[in-house]
Structure 1
């Protein structure tokens, strides 16, 4: 069991929040966002490459994404990758440019996406609580080994709990903002 390390706990909790923000960025809200295509990988040159490594992704209009494919021979694989990514987008190929109109979200789909945002947030909360548990366990182990006193352990546990509370507040704020965005409020 590693000794208590506050900086490590802070880093791991911040990582959970960053991971949540990345997951939330991939949820479609009815507005064009270049981050929507982040999870798309294209099978080119005998490897799976992120879409942004084979073309330039831009949002020329609020409800349109555009992918300017650099190599003409990759247009087909990029089109195929976007279609099979499960994003509900229908690419329109125009030379080396692929246009992606962003369709309106149905009320039902908005609710599904809001629920998914909630699930992502819960996953992040669980990750934060696991980090807290690791911190508390290492404090108890340090006290048992005689490296810290009971008072020091209690003080540090209070610090860990404050860090946990503020991180979970960040998770809740990010999720709530995304749910409002999805539901168009």
Structure 2
């Protein structure tokens, strides 16, 4: 991951928004707020404990985030694809990136409800087998947040994403944002 990607992401947001616009950073890169000179509409500006909170507490946090978004929808949401802690656990993506074509390529998951439902069932099963039932439950309680993002936002600068490799396998990386994913309100 490019150590400066968060700064470039911040600059992009600052250049494509107004000072009164809000943004939200999913994961642990709070410097994006400072560099972008934009505030969060949520009581907690970032969520860095999504892998360690008990599932019910995470569900409560998701509802808190969604209530804040309903009052003041952020112009941009940044999914930092948090890989900091616990090390080796895949990120909880706000818009899943899935392999296709026999694992030769990757793309953002289509918004088709049946495809999303199948993917969610498959990914929860993978998480349960590899990381335990609590991690699978955490993924499930994040569904309302993923759904909100996928219905109300689009991937910013979609054409800039390319296939990339991380320690978790195939993913997408952007020419500016690297592995961060930037969503802009529709």
TM-score under structure 2 length normalisation: 0.23
Q: Which has the higher helix share?
A: 1
Q: Which has the higher strand share?
A: 2
TM-score under structure 1 length normalisation: 0.23
